[in-house]
Amino acid sequence: MSTPVIAAAAPAAPALEAIRELVGPKGWIDDPVDLEPHLVEERGRFRGRCLAVVRPADTAEVAAVVRHCAAALIPLVPQGGNTGLVGGGVPDGGIVLSTARLNRIRALDPADRTITVEAGMILADVQAAAEQAGLLFPLSLAAEGSCRIGGNLATNAGGVTVVRYGNARDLVLGLEVVLPDGRIWNGLRALRKDNTGYDLKQLFLGSEGTLGIITAAVLKLFPRPRATATALVAVPSPAAAIALLARVQDRCGDVLTAFELMGRLAVLFCCRHLAGIVDPFEAPHPWYVLIHLTSPRAGDPLTETLEVVLGEALESDIVTDAVIAQNQGQAAAMWRLREGIPEAQKPEGGSIKNDVSVPVSRVPEFLALATGAVEAAMPGIRVVAFGHVGDGNIHFNLSQPEAADRDAFLAEWDRFDRLVADVATGLGGSFSAEHGIGRLKRADMRRYKDPVALDMMRAIKHTLDPVGIMNPGKVVVDA
């Protein structure tokens, strides 16, 4: 079963004209300057091309656009904020369907603890709407000011609060989706329990636009945090970090909201390149952990709880030094250190990114083996490891050796991707923890994904999108 490659040329013109009329001037972009931001992606690895960017105003318009595309076999690439890190939103012909104008809140129901939003809402706006209602939408990542909720759901985004609230797919109760034939599936249910057969929404969560266009979602809301505590902790090793994680989980229970690991080089790069960041401790340490606790109970003594846990950990040598934020400003500075790492890596030259996961207990083994493998493959390579270690998710980024040529280093991307993925999968892990497959990881999909799983994926793709117009060439690869 294969996804056909589509030549859109001849029959496309009248369909495109019909789409242009349908969406009107506000919904149509074909000026090369305005198309540009839609053809490139965050890391500059892929450059695409398309006939136009279409920005429908509502679900009915999305459906009409898709029907025209299906009839004329015009490929369609859904795009939200275009912050994805695997080239999933980069078009290779056809049209880009931007969700930017689908940005309304359809309902907010405090009794059900749900918010129903359209796919083009910026993640930070969804968070703000929940907060205004005295509630919390917990999905949080560094791109939250520009990524859109449909993109978050289509990539099953992770981020920094997964240890407590789960991935994006765990935050969804219902979806509205435009299928590749233009039909609208109204699955906008707000049910916490619904055992009526296959959970179809899960197909679209993490499908990266290959099965349909998510146009709206019912999202879960949670109690708003009324007490928080944040600490930056120096630990002697990744094994100590994992031991500390278990202690914090045992002592603090579900108030643990983020548990992030940072290697020394990551911290050093931040101190070197980011304004206002200073080395957090007098002496350098090999590893650091950022711990964030939140509680809906005002006055919950989280700082005191952290003091006790960290004091005990200091005594048993799993913590070398620790500082607990005394105010919001100090907590924000700790987060700036963690979230600034990708930016701080840029002035250090070329960087090969790896987003992998292993069972939490195997993180120390992964870091030792992967570091050994890449250093043996290229002496002088600089490992910048950090990530959501509470979920076993490491961003195992590699900065070029100091004197190396940037482009020559980046040309080695596939070799290092494979070295690191070999180690992760060998430990029972995943070659893509939270960023997805898109265009970047198609070869890994062939190499590491279970063949039976791949067959099922191809069957689903073929059933829902038999002519292959929906984000062709992404995620699901031919046999």
C-beta of 64 vs 157, nearer to ligand FAD: 157
Among 190, 286, 176, which residue's Cα sits nearest to residue 238? 286
Site string for ligand FAD, 449-478 (x = CB under 6 A): ----------------------x--x----
Closest distance of CB 393 from ligand FAD, Å: 9
By CB under 6 A, name the one of 83, 114, 320, 399 that touches ligand FAD.
83
| Partners of residue 387 on adjacent β-strands | 261, 394
Residue whose pair of structure tokens reads 């060439």 in the numeric block: 473
Closest distance of CB 141 from ligand FAD, Å: 4
C-beta of 42 vs 375, nearer to ligand FAD: 42
Site string for ligand FAD, 138-177 (x = CB under 6 A): ---xxx---xx-xxx-xx-xxx------------------
How many CA atoms are closer than 13 Å to the CA of 394, on its beta-carbon side? 33
Closest distance of CB 14 from ligand FAD, Å: 26
By CB under 6 A, name the one of 22, 70, 108, 119 that touches ligand FAD.
119
Are 396 and 428 contacting, i.e. CB atoms less than 8 angstroms apart?
no
- CA 257, 262, 266, 268 dihedral sign is positive
C-beta of 175 vs 319, nearer to ligand FAD: 175
C-beta of 225 vs 436, nearer to ligand FAD: 436
> What is the Cα 385 distance to its own chain's centre?
17
C-beta of 83 vs 371, nearer to ligand FAD: 83
Give the footprint of ligand FAD on residues 20-79 (CB under 6 A).
42, 77-79
By CB under 6 A, name the one of 27, 48, 89, 473 that touches ligand FAD.
89
C-beta of 307 vs 348, nearer to ligand FAD: 348
Closest distance of CB 119 from ligand FAD, Å: 4
Q: How far apart are CA 330 and CA 333, in angstroms?
A: 5
C-beta of 47 vs 297, nearer to ligand FAD: 47
Check residue 88 for interaction with ligand FAD (CB under 6 A): yes
Check residue 125 for interaction with ligand FAD (CB under 6 A): no
C-beta of 158 vs 350, nearer to ligand FAD: 158
Check residue 84 for interaction with ligand FAD (CB under 6 A): yes
Give the footprint of ligand FAD on residues 305-364 (CB under 6 A).
342
C-beta of 22 vs 86, nearer to ligand FAD: 86
C-beta of 53 vs 419, nearer to ligand FAD: 53
Closest distance of CB 200 from ligand FAD, Å: 14
| Nearest residue to ligand FAD on Cβ basis | 151
Check residue 290 for interaction with ligand FAD (CB under 6 A): no
Question: Judged by CB under 6 A, how many residues of this single chain contact ligand FAD?
Answer: 37
Are 234 and 285 contacting, i.e. CB atoms less than 8 angstroms apart?
yes
Check residue 274 for interaction with ligand FAD (CB under 6 A): no
Check residue 434 for interaction with ligand FAD (CB under 6 A): yes
Check residue 124 for interaction with ligand FAD (CB under 6 A): no
Closest distance of CB 236 from ligand FAD, Å: 26
Contact residues: ligand FAD, CB under 6 A: 42, 77-85, 88-89, 99, 119, 141-143, 147-148, 150-152, 154-155, 157-159, 208-209, 213-214, 342, 434-435, 438, 471, 474
